Amino acid sequence: MGSRNPKRKPLSRKEKREQEFNEIDNLEAKCEELSLKDREFVNFYELPLSSKTLKGLNSVHYLEMTEIQRKALPVALNGRDVLGAAKTGSGKTLAFLIPLIELLYRKKWTQFDGLGALVIAPTRELAVQIFEVLRAIGRQHSLSAGLVIGGKNVNIEQERISRMNILICTPGRLLQHMDQTVGFDCSNLQMLVLDEADRILDLGFEKTVNAIIENLPKQRQTLLFSATQTKSVKDLARLSLKNPAYVAVHEKSEYSTPQRLAQHYIICPLPQKLDYLFSFIKSHLKSKVLVFLSSCKQVRFVFETFCKMHPGVPLLHLHGKQKQTKRVEIFNKFSNMKCAYLFATDIAARGLDFPAVDWVIQVDAPEDAETYIHRVGRTARYEASGQGLLLLLPSEEEAMIDALKAKKVPIEKINVKSSKIISIQNQLQSLCFRDPEIKYLGQKAFKSYMRSVYLQKNKLIFKVDELPAEKYAESLGLPGTPKIKFIKKSETKNAIRQRPKQVSESERTTDEEDKHYQKLIDHEGDKIAIDSEDGDLLSLKRIDHELPDELEQKTSEPTSKRKLLKATSKKLWAKDSKKGQKLIYDDEGNPHQVYELQDEREFLAAGAPVVQKQAFVEKELTAMKNQDAIDKRIAKEKRRQKKLKYKAKLKAEMEAQELGPKTVLISPQSEDDEYQESQEEAVQLDKLDDIKSYGNKRNIESLQSDKATSDQEEYDGKQVRKDNKRAKILEVEEPETLEDHEKLALQLLNGF
């Protein structure tokens, strides 16, 4: 007889704590030994990890480590600072989250110890994603974790933030809490992680990140991870790294991008970019594709117009000007879709782990090779394969390809059969013509594209002077080329002066795009101003751009009370400023005053006013009559063509069915309304199909009354109802000649 397993007595709280403390002592010793070992670990359980973390990893099926995890985890668990670099999609997130959880666990961190670890990510989406991974693998631990990103209610965050042990945040919002939230204390911080470290340490975030670091204790462990890692000594000094371990697993590999990623580029003239993109979509309807464009406005224009052209696949768009809830919704939606196109700015370029993306298309060239690598890395993640396609203008090809080759990106040129390209220019033109909002979006997209090219740092790739501006505007469907004016830095001083030094939190954005411009401006000697209706001067949004002291004083301290009053009173300002002028534009786009007076001498020379008036009236009358006659002829011809077409169709159908006597069913309708005509014609043809199957007059009558009823439901105008009541059936031999038609028309006019 086998003895039954005696039921184990559950451990008391004290016993549990003792067991945990034993485990921790054991782990501490093993982690210290890690520096001595030169052993390759393969599975997570081989590392000195807590049973809680191992359970968490197991629950999401992470068993075997990826290369970066194998190399970075032992070093980080040993307590050293780490500079981790590995290809996109190679599992860097776990390489910093596991040491973070383990460190706090080994230090027996409790809610009373406050903030123990900080993870900083460049975009909100990436922060959300990291938070989700942390939640998944850390669920067995009793540590509290919070997500601190812009676009959420700051007050709610303020209430909770001081209770958190781990924070995942974007730089702007974190600094805001450091400045404003009472009781937010970082003095006990044990670990700082920068994901996409090179991005966080670059110029766009420089001042914010410096200010954050000033608030952190120097005694801490720091981990930096990115696919394109910084090695700048200056950057490392800023972070006070101590003897960091540089773990770059793919540095020696032949290529810097994933092995299963096939990368191609095509040369595409600027005015044909959207044709190429649309043609690609039409021929890849069963794919999941991420499309990168250079600005929010580009994204919006392409998204709105392509939606209206119904390509036959779901379209989504993601950019920094959307509300946070919308951004999260789109992120989740695209993640869960099998076939869809997501048009996005560079906010989607780094770190995001959308599952199973088949293609990444870069419609607008990336600012540099690093950005290319991050964008294209949204596909072929972990063990999956994927494809990348880059569209380059002829002027961009040489320098961009050189830059990519220098960064070990294997990219091949392919040619596209011009016969396969669908031109959408006419459709865009008609959309812009019909919908002023689309036209407005198009103008904005045009300007923002030109602006982004102008602002690019690498002038060997981006040559604004070589862009075919007019043709590009035409290709977007715009009726004319929007005016753009590039002005020198000195000319923008006034505009700068008028900007307040600080911007509100709602204006602060982690939007890659804005920072990207920001960064570029810092590099540029010149600034750019766009001559747009909303005074779209390229202004600096970010808080870390200060005005020179001198300028600041001029704006903030008016020299007299009168000036102060004037500066703050809209009424006084409006009184002194010039009144606006109303202009009318002719067909050629030339502006005219609303009332333009003829030169008096010319007017008198043309004869007496009464005679002139008479001549004018006669001239206009003749013109009207002529035009009227032309219109009538056209309308008549249209009606005739339509009748002939309808008759031929009917005849063919009758013959096919051998329905006996030829019958034409006519109902009263307005001949002017083409749309209604065609609708009713379609209805009649449908009904006739039914008639044919019954084949007798009674059915025809009942169908006619059916039609009257459905017409009444559809058009609720009185006249239509009246007409329908009067509707009769007219059976005639099919008219063969023009006389027959006229006779039939007369009968109809005379009420049969």
**E-assigned strands of 81-172?**
82-85, 117-120, 145-148, 166-169
Element (H, E) at 592: strand 591-593
Q: Which of 639, 642, 620 is nearest to 631 (CA)?
A: 639
- What tokens does 604 get? 């008198």
The nearer residue to ligand ATP, 33 or 64, going by C-beta atoms, is 64
Minimum distance of ligand ATP from residue 388's CB (angstroms): 13
Strand 583-585 relative to strand 591-593, pairing:
antiparallel
Minimum distance of ligand ATP from residue 87's CB (angstroms): 7
Minimum distance of ligand ATP from residue 29's CB (angstroms): 25
The nearer residue to ligand ATP, 361 or 445, going by C-beta atoms, is 361
The nearer residue to ligand ATP, 53 or 69, going by C-beta atoms, is 69
- Cα distances from 394 to residues 364, 398, 400, 413, in angstroms, run 13, 8, 11, 12
The nearer residue to ligand ATP, 48 or 89, going by C-beta atoms, is 89
Are 697 and 665 a contacting pair, CB within 8 Å? no
Are 138 and 56 a contacting pair, CB within 8 Å? yes
The nearer residue to ligand ATP, 89 or 388, going by C-beta atoms, is 89
The nearer residue to ligand ATP, 65 or 529, going by C-beta atoms, is 65
Q: Which of 376, 228, 190, 202 is nearest to 291 (CA)?
A: 376
The nearer residue to ligand ATP, 56 or 91, going by C-beta atoms, is 91
The nearer residue to ligand ATP, 92 or 327, going by C-beta atoms, is 92
Minimum distance of ligand ATP from residue 93's CB (angstroms): 3
The nearer residue to ligand ATP, 32 or 64, going by C-beta atoms, is 64
Q: Determine the Cα–Cα distance for residues 623 and 621; give it in Å rounded to an integer.
A: 5
Are 717 and 670 a contacting pair, CB within 8 Å? no
Secondary structure class of 247 (helix, strand, coil) = strand
DSSP per position, 497-533: HTS-SS--TTT----HHHHHHHHHHHH-SS--B---T
- If you count them, how many residues does the chain have? 752
The nearer residue to ligand ATP, 136 or 484, going by C-beta atoms, is 136
Minimum distance of ligand ATP from residue 376's CB (angstroms): 10
Are 447 and 482 a contacting pair, CB within 8 Å? yes
DSSP 8-state symbol, 454: H
- What tokens does 151 get? 């676009």
Residues contributing to the site for ligand ATP (CB under 6 A) = 62, 64-66, 69, 86, 88-94, 227, 351, 353, 377, 381-382
Question: Which stretches within 353-489 are classed as H helix?
Answer: 369-376, 397-406, 425-434, 436-455, 469-475
Minimum distance of ligand ATP from residue 240's CB (angstroms): 25
The nearer residue to ligand ATP, 58 or 144, going by C-beta atoms, is 58
Minimum distance of ligand ATP from residue 122's CB (angstroms): 11
The nearer residue to ligand ATP, 44 or 105, going by C-beta atoms, is 44
Minimum distance of ligand ATP from residue 86's CB (angstroms): 6
How much helix, strand and coil, in percent to the nearest 5, is found in the chain? Answer: 50, 10, 40
The nearer residue to ligand ATP, 208 or 229, going by C-beta atoms, is 229
Minimum distance of ligand ATP from residue 426's CB (angstroms): 40
φ and ψ at residue 148, rounded to 5 degrees: -120, 95
Minimum distance of ligand ATP from residue 459's CB (angstroms): 29
Strand 82-85 relative to strand 245-248, pairing:
parallel
The nearer residue to ligand ATP, 189 or 227, going by C-beta atoms, is 227
Question: Which stretches within 591-696 are classed as H helix?
Answer: 600-605, 609-657, 674-694
Minimum distance of ligand ATP from residue 62's CB (angstroms): 5
- Cα distances from 457 to residues 368, 440, 460, in angstroms, run 9, 28, 9
Query: Which residues lie below 8 Å from residue 269, measured CB to CB, with a gap of 6+?
Result: 393, 394, 468, 471
Minimum distance of ligand ATP from residue 386's CB (angstroms): 12
Question: Which residue is associated with the tokens 């460190």?
Answer: 103
The nearer residue to ligand ATP, 66 or 208, going by C-beta atoms, is 66
Are 92 and 224 a contacting pair, CB within 8 Å? no
Secondary structure class of 223 (helix, strand, coil) = strand
Minimum distance of ligand ATP from residue 381's CB (angstroms): 5
The nearer residue to ligand ATP, 154 or 384, going by C-beta atoms, is 384
Minimum distance of ligand ATP from residue 171's CB (angstroms): 17
- Cα distances from 84 to residues 17, 193, 219, 254, 476, in angstroms, run 35, 11, 20, 18, 43
Long-range contacts formed by 37-46: CB under 8 A, 24+ apart? 37/74, 40/70, 41/65, 41/70, 41/73, 41/74, 42/70, 44/98
Minimum distance of ligand ATP from residue 248's CB (angstroms): 13
Q: Determine the Cα–Cα distance for residues 350 and 371; give it in Å rounded to an integer.
A: 8
Minimum distance of ligand ATP from residue 78's CB (angstroms): 20
Q: Determine the Cα–Cα distance for residues 117 and 216; give it in Å rounded to an integer.
A: 11
Q: What count of other Cβ atoms lies within 10 Å of the Cβ of residue 67?
A: 16
- What tokens does 555 get? 């704006």
Q: Please list, residue by residue across 674-696, b when 16 or more beta carbons sit within 10 angstroms of its beta carbon and e when fewer do.
A: eeebeebbebbeebbeebeeeee
Q: What is the dihedral of CA 563, 565, 568, 571, to 10 degrees?
A: -110
Greatest alpha-carbon pair distance for the chain in Å reads 132
Minimum distance of ligand ATP from residue 382's CB (angstroms): 3
The nearer residue to ligand ATP, 346 or 353, going by C-beta atoms, is 353
Minimum distance of ligand ATP from residue 51's CB (angstroms): 18
The nearer residue to ligand ATP, 89 or 366, going by C-beta atoms, is 89
